[in-house]
Amino acid sequence: AQKITQTQPGMFVQEKEAVTLDCTYDTSDPSYGLFWYKQPSSGEMIFLIYQGSYDQQNATEGRYSLNFQKARKSANLVISASQLGDSAMYFCAMEETAGNKLTFGGGTRVLVKP
Amino acid sequence: NAGVTQTPKFRILKIGQSMTLQCTQDMNHNYMYWYRQDPGMGLKLIYYSVGAGITDKGEVPNGYNVSRSTTEDFPLRLELAAPSQTSVYFCASSQTGTGKEQYFGPGTRLTVT
């Protein structure tokens, strides 16, 4: 069975600074994918970034980048130049190739301070 | 496009009552999903479907049923509601294939008392 662990329940970050959110995973599948979603206080789920297990380069999307270390089974999200609007819950999720089902971690709450 | 829509937004049920949560997507996605999110937790998969007429259980299917008669609709049925089913329910859809973003609906907040 797949397992996703986010060990940081909450973090403060100063506006304009970078923040790294940790995510470790466990799977026996050689092919898998890792997603990060943002959930603001309004409740919607917003896709941020995706990394495939066979991708050679770390994924980047604007201010978001994924530090993928396959041997360590980690897929940490880096948010650069934090903004007040980045305050939210952030979820790491692993994709099973059969049906593209997602297994979510418990989330990390980020609060950006002005 | 409306994306993924869910109704109702909020609902209070009494123990033992039943209800159906509606989910519709207008993106012609084959894959659809139902998740629940308990307070302060991540999402857990209840049921999913890879196409009309095909459904399968996720991690926490007990107490729920689904059907998929059309590509667009994927209703979730709660039979004999229990307090443990108090949660926020999210419907999502995605294109076929790996690495495809799941598009989520706004969620339904359900309280069972």
B 70-109 residues with CB below 8 A of A?
Answer: 88, 90, 92, 94, 97-104, 106-107
Closest chain A residue by Cα to residue B109:
A43
Read off the pLDDT of each residue in B8-33 and give the average, rounded to a whole number.
Answer: 97
Phi/psi-derived region of residue A40, left when phi > 0, alpha when psi is between -120 and 50, beta in every other case: beta
CA distance B42 to chain A (A): 4
The mean predicted confidence, pLDDT, of chain B is 95
Touching check for A4 and chain B: CB below 8 Å? Answer: yes
Read off the pLDDT of each residue in B4-29 and give the average, rounded to a whole number.
Answer: 97
Phi/psi-derived region of residue A97, left when phi > 0, alpha when psi is between -120 and 50, beta in every other case: alpha
Strands A10-14 and A108-113: what pairing? parallel
Give the Cα separation of B49 and B25 in Å (integer): 13
Closest chain B residue by Cα to residue A109:
B40
| Nearby residues of A28 by Cβ (< 8 Å), 6 or more positions away | none
Give the Cα separation of A100 and A102 in Å (integer): 6
pLDDT at position A54: 92
Read off the pLDDT of each residue in B11-18 and give the average, rounded to a whole number.
Answer: 97
CA distance B106 to chain A (A): 5
Closest partner CB to B106 (pick from A31, A43, A106): A43
List chain A pLDDT tens, one digit each, 114 residues. 779 999 999 999 999 999 999 999 999 888 899 999 999 999 999 999 999 999 989 999 999 999 999 999 999 999 999 999 999 999 999 998 777 889 999 999 999 999
Closest chain B residue by Cα to residue A36:
B101
pLDDT at position B97: 82
pLDDT at position B1: 67
Model confidence pLDDT, tens digit, residues B62-109:
999 999 999 999 999 999 999 999 999 999 999 988 888 999 999 999
pLDDT at position B45: 96
pLDDT at position B98: 81
Touching check for B39 and chain A: CB below 8 Å? Answer: no
